[in-house]
Amino acid sequence: MSEELKNELPNEETPKEEKNGALRWLKIGGILAAIAGCSALALTALNLLTAPVIEANNAAKEAGGYKEVFADCVAVSEEVAIEGNANLSSYLVAYSDSGKTQQIGFIYKSNLIPVQSYGNIQALVGISGSADAPILGKVYLVANTLSYKAQFEDGYVTPYNANPTEETLAATKCGATYGAEALKAIINSARDHFSSIGDDFQENLEQDILDIFGEGSAYHVAYSETSNVSGTTYVKKAYRFFEDETITGEIGRLYSAKYKSEGGDLYLTVGLSGTSEEVQYQKLSITKNTVTESNDVEAYVAAYNAAPGETSLASTSDDYTKAIQAMVQEAVVTFKADPLLSCSSYFENMVSSASSYSEPTVLAEEKGKETLDTGYDYVMRYWSLYSDAEKTNEIAKVYKVRAVLDTVNSRGVPLTSDTTFLVTVSGEKTDPIVGKLKLLKNETNNPYKSSDGKPIIEGYVDSYPEGSSANATYSMNVVKSGIDHAVSLYGAM
Amino acid sequence: MSATNVVTAFILAVFSYMLINNVVLTRFYGICPYLGVSTKVKSSVGMGVAVVFVICLAALVCYPIYHFVLIPAGLGFLDTIVYILVIASLVQLVGLFIKKYSPSLYKSLGIYLPLITTNCAVLGVVQENNALDFGMSMANALGTSLGFLVMIVLFSTIRERLNAYDAPKNWKGLPIALITAAIMAMAIMGLTGMIA
Amino acid sequence: MATNTIARSQHKENFLNPIWKANPLFILLLGTCPALGVTTTVENAIGMGILFTFVLVGSSVLVSLLRKIIPEEIETPAFILIIATFVTIVKMLSEAFLPELYSGLGVFISLLVVNCIVLGRAEAFAKKNGVLDSLLDALGNGVGYLLAITSIALIREILGTGTITFGAVFTFLPKIVLPILKFDGVDLSIPLFAKPAGAFIVFGVIEAIIGVFTLRKAEKEAAAKREAILAAQKAKAAALAAEKAKTAEAAGKEDK
């Protein structure tokens, strides 16, 4: 009996064990899956609820950001995605009216840019102006998780936003250099993109000079300054030309203008010099002409260039020649509002009795230069001033002097300055009188100010020969040496 | 970007994650094991090496899961859950692996191996990697874990000596260790801005 | 009636214990990562404490509810799942409705998943006790943790920045800046405390101060123990002597 029982028992157990094994694991797995499933459901439901709120939050934050970038931004366009750009994700057009007709500029959205191990930044950048003359705008940080965020904001972003220029853009060494470099890259990307969606026309200034002023002129690209023109329809850029490397004493200007129409584009560069009262028209050069239908542009331009002036401008025949006339006239208006800063324009104030002046005599550097322990002075050129229009009675000479200081003071602090000014010398050769001075340019690292609060050189020059401030400085001494040099040249002529 | 540029950038990034933005002393991940395990140098080394292994592996596994599975499916919000489950399983797997191939190491690690699951550093690094690209994620993982190893070993060497000295009664043990950590943190502070 | 009062005092004990006697941060040394990481400002610390309490209460209650259903083998992954779910809920809600808190706390909200306190309470308490007890325990731990990190944050913010700022994170509050060590022209703040090193210092000093109390208590207990042993020994000796006297008497009696 017991043996039979013994034989029976093991058989009863095994099916039970099997049930336990497989079923049990199934049950365990099932419970885990159930928990996981419930949590996933709950989270998905919550996500549906919160995602729109988060979107709204972000949108509101961005809208606030748009106002920070362009203060008069009232509405923005649809977002336009930018493909394949490491820094930028999209841009929007900012409008100053809700009807979306007055465009202010573009607002660029950057990607979330990581900065080494310090965190990420994401910014909105404003760019306005035109495609070939973009104007840097403000920056708004959408996200800034840098571990040194305060330094980054105070040292780079705030100074840039106060004054968005090339200088503040480049001043990345602020104790937060990596972040600043990253933001600078974003801003530059935005500006490049803005330029590229316009046209990729590049002005060839060298060629323009050749075409307008001919070979061997006094106009050199190295002595020029480019600036953007705003508030005009066609004229976009102004190129100022100066007489020497000090970038003082303007001799003439080139304006570039663009006309775009359905029939084609017409770009030109026109030269202007003289004064506001007597504008001297120089030639013009057509730099781009994609007009397809037959036109009289070439003949018109040739006629104008033979005799540049208002009269030859007036003989327009079709829309395109009318456009050229409009462009040149706009350039003249712009020029009159912003006259040439030539050296001769100051003569009236310096020598009131002068009514004419000679051409400048340019001194060779060796002849005009005097080297000092602390730098040098260099009389670059001079003019003779006459009391009569026939230029027979000379009453004074005006010298253009450049005084350069490059030394180290007694405390080991390096001092540099580069001052360019005009000085009047008149009277007998044996007893020359120094008249008024006019400061043309002054660049210095000298932070000291004179007792009346003016920067040292300005104060010295403005009050010469009467005042000289209590702090006699190295740079003042170099300027004085330049004046003395000019005087001795006067006595020798 | 040239090859040398990429490598330099990577090494600099690792360095900056390791020392300048140090995991324990600046970012505050991994404090629990940092304070709890560092009484003996030997266990610290063991723990540190295990952490390096786990963090690098976890970062390597979780990056593709987030960027190629969760984000495309719009399930980005499930990242925390997925990460912690991946980390827990990884730690189990690594444990089994070590147990099979190096039982002595397994024994010396003892309870510390499962403890790595709750180490804030692992989850912290993986969460931070959400916002980074692949190269930076790996630099983060490598730099952070190496930083943890360096700091915990340094700390344990100091602590071993501290325990032998006679600290004031109330400062013995944990309080003086925390002050030591503070001084180490101050030393790390001096490295800020080094790579700038 | 008697069981009710016992139960009530047990409940009280569950709630009050973790706040002072068994404070999760200062006594049990759990959850130190956020305690050092988010305590730069008081508002961040309070915010973290509230979110932490939410996660802890939620997960403890749920674990306690499901304790009979979850089999032993998968306890740990199940707890982790539940905790992670609550953390994600908290994360999503704070990102939507308290965005400043969300960006202020950063990764540390996600790190609540691996917070030793939450997992520890689930394993040590919630899976063995009823829902009410678990709830009270969780609330107590949450309050205890909140008070602990807020006290660290108070010290760090006052010493580190000289002011306490309200309204920066909880934007429904008016923005107040209480100048304590920093007002017109006078700046007595010690910026070190706002930095990581300062966190360690504050924590260390607090631990040392707590050490004073625990040491004193430990000494008292040790002394009491010794006294008890002595008293027991004395009682034993007295009892032995009494026995001896008794047997001697009896022997004496028998003799006679």
3-state secondary structure of A46: helix
In angstroms, the separation between the Cα of residue B81 and the nearest Cα of chain A is 9
Name the DSSP letter for residue A305: H
pTM value is: 0.61
The residues facing A443 across adjacent strands are A418
Shared-domain flag, residues A159 and A48: no
B80 contacts on C by Cβ (under 8 Å): 84, 87-88, 91, 110, 113
The residues facing C178 across adjacent strands are C164
Tokens 């990562």 belong to C33
Q: Residue A130: is its pLDDT beyond 80?
A: no
**Residue of A46, A48, A58, A62 to mutate, testing the C interface (most C Cβ within 10 Å of its Cβ):** A46
Nearest beta carbon to residue B25 from set C92, C107, C196: C196
Q: How many CB atoms lie within 10 A of CB B84?
A: 24
Cα-atom radius of gyration of chain C, to the nearest Å?
Answer: 26
Q: Test C196 with B189 for CB contact under 8 angstroms.
A: yes
Structural domain tally of chain B?
1
Is A33 inside a domain boundary? yes
Q: Test A43 with B78 for CB contact under 8 angstroms.
A: yes
3-state secondary structure of A97: coil
Task: Report the pLDDT value the prediction gives residue B2, as an integer from 0 to 100.
Answer: 54
Instruction: Give tens-digit pLDDT for A311-345.
Output: 888 888 888 888 889 899 999 999 998 888 888 88
Shared-domain flag, residues A180 and A220: no
Q: Pick from A341, A362, A389: which residue ends a domain?
A: A341
The ipTM (two decimal places) reads 0.81
Strand pairing class (A133-144; A250-261): unpaired
For residue A325, give its domain range.
205-341
How many Å apart are CA B27 and CA B20, to the nearest integer?
Answer: 10
Task: Report the pLDDT value the prediction gives residue C55, as an integer from 0 to 100.
Answer: 93
Structural domain tally of chain A?
4
Q: Test B182 with C200 for CB contact under 8 angstroms.
A: yes
DSSP string, B99-126: HHH-HHHHHHHTTHHHHGGG-HHHHHHH
Q: Pick from A341, A367, A395: which residue ends a domain?
A: A341
Is A427 inside a domain boundary? yes
Task: Report the pLDDT value the prediction gives residue A19, as an integer from 0 to 100.
Answer: 55
Is A67 inside a domain boundary? no
Shared-domain flag, residues A166 and A130: yes
Specify whether the backbone of A476 is left (phi greater than 0), alpha (psi in -120 to 50) or beta: alpha
Is A346 inside a domain boundary? no
- The pLDDT confidence band at residue C184, using thresholds 50, 70 and 90, is low
Shared-domain flag, residues A335 and A414: no
CA-wise closest residue to A210 among A311, A296, A313, A282: A282
Shared-domain flag, residues A169 and A253: no
Strand pairing class (A432-444; C163-166): unpaired
Cα-atom radius of gyration of chain B, to the nearest Å?
Answer: 18
How many Å apart are CA A270 and CA A310, to the nearest integer?
Answer: 13
Name all contacts of A290-294 with Cβ < 8 Å and 24+ positions apart.
Answer: A290/A264, A290/A265, A290/A266, A291/A263, A291/A264, A291/A265, A291/A266, A291/A320, A292/A263, A292/A264, A293/A263, A293/A264
Is B32 inside a domain boundary? yes
Is A210 inside a domain boundary? yes
Is A68 inside a domain boundary? no
- The pLDDT confidence band at residue A451, using thresholds 50, 70 and 90, is low
C218 vs B: CB within 8 A: no
Rounded mean pLDDT, C26-54:
87
Give C16 or A42, the one with higher predicted confidence. A42
B193 contacts on A by Cβ (under 8 Å): 148, 175
C2 vs A: CB within 8 A: no
Tokens 């609540």 belong to C112
Nearest beta carbon to residue B28 from set C33, C81, C205: C33
Instruction: Give tens-digit pLDDT for A253-266.
Output: 999 888 877 778 88
Is A445 inside a domain boundary? yes
Cα-atom radius of gyration of chain A, to the nearest Å?
Answer: 36
Q: Test B13 with A148 for CB contact under 8 angstroms.
A: no
Q: Test C200 with B181 for CB contact under 8 angstroms.
A: yes
- Of A5-19, A403-417, A432-446, B36-50, which gets the smallest average pLDDT? A5-19
Shared-domain flag, residues A361 and A488: yes
Task: Report the pLDDT value the prediction gives residue A393, as an integer from 0 to 100.
Answer: 87
C72 vs A: CB within 8 A: no
Shared-domain flag, residues A305 and A420: no
For residue B179, give its domain range.
3-189
Nearest beta carbon to residue C107 from set B118, B124, B176: B124
- Of A330-334, A468-472, C23-27, C68-72, which gets the smallest average pLDDT? A468-472
Nearest beta carbon to residue C80 from set B31, B77, B88: B88
Query: CB under 8 Å to A468, separation ≥6 — which residues?
Result: A460, A476
Shared-domain flag, residues A183 and A210: no
Query: CB under 8 Å to A97, separation ≥6 — which residues?
Result: A74, A75
Q: Is B138 in contact with C161 (CB distance < 8 Å)?
A: no
CB burial of residue C59 (10 Å; 0-12, 13-18, 19+): buried
Query: CB under 8 Å to B182, separation ≥6 — which residues?
Result: C197, C198, C199, C200, C201, C204
Shared-domain flag, residues A367 and A432: yes
Shared-domain flag, residues A400 and A302: no
Shared-domain flag, residues A487 and A361: yes
Is B194 inside a domain boundary? no
Please name the residues between 6 and 35 in chain C that touch chain B, using a CB distance below 8 Å: 29-30, 32-34
Shared-domain flag, residues A395 and A322: no
Instruction: Give tens-digit pLDDT for A263-322.
Output: 788 888 999 988 888 888 989 888 888 887 767 888 888 888 898 888 888 888 888 888
